[in-house]
Amino acid sequence: MIIRNGNVFQEDGTYRRMDLYVENGRIVDCGTEVSEKEEIDAAGLKVLPGLVDIHSHGAVGHDFSDADATGLKEILRYEKSQGITSYCPTSMTLPIDMLIRIFASADAVKPDADCARIVGLNMEGPFLDPVKKGAHVEKYIRKPDIDFFRECQKASGGRIRVVTVAPNMEGAETFIRELKDDVVISIGHTDADYDCAASAMKSGAHHVTHLYNAMNDMGHRAPGVVCAAADDPECMVEMIGDGIHIDPAVVRNTFRMFGEERIVLISDSMMAAGMANGFYELGGQKVTVKDRKAVLEDGTIAGSATSLYECMRCVIAMGVPERAAVFAATRNPARSIGIYDEVGSLVPGKKADIVLADEKLNIVKVI
Ligand SMILES: CC(=O)N[C@@H]1[C@@H](O)[C@H](O)[C@@H](COP(=O)(O)O)O[C@@H]1O
């Protein structure tokens, strides 16, 4: 396949008018390497790398935590239609027997060109702090437990790429030191202060789960997880860019504080993404969705009802430079879970995960 004359997003963040050559699902150097001569006229269109959502629970009426491979396939189909080509299904806080079934269910999903590719699994619970449980069920929360994690990792076939840990819980330090080379350890759902978070980062946790949400605010005498993450040059931070979870001024200034390299936009979507307002479920709890806002019965925000692509457009509308927003939805998430050699930018050798969009970033085609 040859994609002609598009404005192709480059690794330096500029757009360059050029042809893109695809052979056997990968980008290649030149036209002579292309056997299938299908051509797409991309004149006037933006050509972006497929997006990488490393934190999403569900969409179109299904949740990864349903442990249902058919439902997961529908989620992946929806995500691909929205420009997300790499995806990490994300679990909620649940008992171990359920988590084992959930992680095993991902294995039953076979790759499909119409669906986003599963590039890892994200284990958000149960090693959280009850004080900052957010929309997770308190009775299933557990202290960080290496054997518990290993059992889940085994059931998943080694596909868990990210695990959230509250660093102020007993056993967190040992957990981080023991597992830091096997999985990305993400600090989150925690009442930790700056010193506790900074110490966890020194031990090897260089990722933060939805910065600002389910943690203490950054105060001028209580800098918290936010400043600890900013002070750790290796730390990547997730942000939910749906326009509901974080005020636009905070989003803009967080991009300034962390720069273009370290922010990972996520959707944190639940099953109402791609659906109408109404009543849904998340981790066994009833959720009401109205005007794209998902809440539990007590008003706690319970994930988002949008896609990563919409989050990317949303933060651009807030005033984040387009190149920074594209990096945060493509390159940075890919780097954060160690798959940037395969996806996340459009250079020869990488998978041909491509979004064609018009000037206003409306999706025209996803490849
Ligand atoms: C799936 C999930 O759990 N997502 C969290 C939720 O738990 C938390 O309640 C909310 C708001 O947190 P905040 O009130 O601290 O900003 O952020 C995210 O939606």
Q: What is the ipTM of this complex?
A: 0.99
Atom from ligand 1 closest to the CA of residue 302: 19
Residue recorded with tokens 């984040």:
320
| Angle in degrees, 0-180, between the axes of helices 146-155 and 96-105, rounded to the nearest 10 | 30
How many angstroms separate the alpha carbon of residue 189 from the centre of ligand 1? 8
Residue 13 pLDDT grade (very low, low, confident, very high; cuts 50, 70, 90): very high
Distance CA(259)–CA(255), nearest Å, equals: 5
pLDDT, residue 311, reads: 98
Local structure of 211: helix, strand or coil: coil
* Cα four-point dihedral sign 148, 55, 284, 107: negative
> Number of H helices and number of E strands within the chain?
10, 22
**Atom 3 of ligand 1 has which residue's CA nearest to it?**
135
Summarize pLDDT for 163-195 with one digit per residue, the tens: 999 999 999 999 999 999 999 999 999 999 999
Summarize pLDDT for 275-288 with one digit per residue, the tens: 999 999 999 999 99
Distance CA(207)–CA(176), nearest Å, equals: 12
Model-level pTM greater than 0.95?
yes
* Angle of CA points 243, 345, 87, to nearest 5°: 55
pLDDT of 147 over the 90 cut: yes
How many angstroms separate the alpha carbon of residue 301 from the centre of ligand 1? 5
pLDDT, residue 250, reads: 98
pLDDT of 127 over the 90 cut: yes
Domain ranges of the chain: 2-46+360-366, 51-341
Distance CA(330)–CA(27), nearest Å, equals: 16
pLDDT, residue 225, reads: 98
pLDDT, residue 103, reads: 97
pLDDT, residue 71, reads: 97
Distance CA(338)–CA(325), nearest Å, equals: 19
H or E element: which one contains 354? strand 354-357
**Atom 17 of ligand 1 has which residue's CA nearest to it?**
213
DSSP conformation letters of 282-336: ETTEEEEEETTEEE-TTS-EEEESS-HHHHHHHHHHTT--HHHHHHHHTHHHHHH
From 297, 301, 304, 306, give the residue whose CB has the most ligand 1 atoms within 8 Å, as the site to mutate. 301
CB 298 within 8 A of CB 270: no
pLDDT of 30 over the 90 cut: no
Summarize pLDDT for 46-80 with one digit per residue, the tens: 999 999 999 999 999 999 999 999 999 999 999 99
* Inter-residue long-range contacts of 221-224, CB under 8 Å, 24+ positions, other chains counted: 222/193, 222/194, 223/194, 224/192, 224/193, 224/194, 224/197
Distance CA(12)–CA(226), nearest Å, equals: 27
- Give me the active site residues, please: 268
Residue 139 pLDDT grade (very low, low, confident, very high; cuts 50, 70, 90): very high
Residue scoring higher pLDDT (33 or 154): 154
H or E element: which one contains 105? helix 96-105
Cα Rg for the chain, rounded, in angstroms? 20
- Give me the percent of the chain exceeding a pLDDT of 90: 98
Question: Which two three-digit tokens encode residue 251?
Answer: 């989003």
Pocket of ligand 1 (CB under 6 A): 57, 134-136, 210, 213-214, 245, 268, 300-303
**Atom 8 of ligand 1 has which residue's CA nearest to it?**
134
Q: How many CA atoms lie within 13 A of 102 on its CB side?
A: 27
Atom from ligand 1 closest to the CA of residue 268: 1
Q: Between 3.40.50.10470, 3.20.20.140, 3.30.930.10, 3.40.50.150, what CATH number should domain 51-341 receive?
A: 3.20.20.140
pLDDT of 33 over the 90 cut: no
Q: Which residues contact 22 (CB under 8 A, 6 or more apart)?
A: 1, 2, 3, 28, 34, 352, 354, 367
The predicted model gives 119-145 an average pLDDT of 98
The predicted model gives 310-329 an average pLDDT of 98
CB 164 within 8 A of CB 124: yes
**Atom 19 of ligand 1 has which residue's CA nearest to it?**
303
pLDDT of 36 over the 90 cut: no
- Give me the percent of the chain exceeding a pLDDT of 70: 100
Summarize pLDDT for 231-266 with one digit per residue, the tens: 999 999 999 999 999 999 999 999 999 999 999 999
Question: Which two three-digit tokens encode residue 296?
Answer: 């539990």
pLDDT of 32 over the 90 cut: no
How many angstroms separate the alpha carbon of residue 360 from the centre of ligand 1? 30
